[in-house]
Amino acid sequence: MHAALIVAAEEAAEKAHELPFPPIVFGIGAFVGLVAMLLFTYAFRLVGTRH
């Protein structure tokens, strides 16, 4: 009985640490997000000198 519980707990623990997407998707998403923030910041680069 105890061995079956231990095996079931180990299988559940293995599944709990899986990522929903491959790691490359997180990297590409972070890169795209940072580039979007860069472009947004770059778009307002001369606003302070106009006034």
CA gap 11, 48 in Å, rounded: 58
Kindly give the confidence (pLDDT) of every residue in the chain, 51 residues in length, as a single tens digit, with 9 standing for 90 and above: 678 878 777 777 666 677 889 999 999 999 999 999 999 999 988 887 776
What pLDDT is attached to residue 40? 95
What is the pTM for the complete model shown?
0.59
Q: Where along the chain do its domains lie? A: 1-49
What pLDDT is attached to residue 5? 79
What pLDDT is attached to residue 39? 96
CA gap 6, 31 in Å, rounded: 41
What pLDDT is attached to residue 29? 98
Q: How far is CA 9 from the centre of its chain?
A: 27
Q: Which secondary structure element, helix H or strand E, spans residue 4, and what is its range?
A: helix 2-16
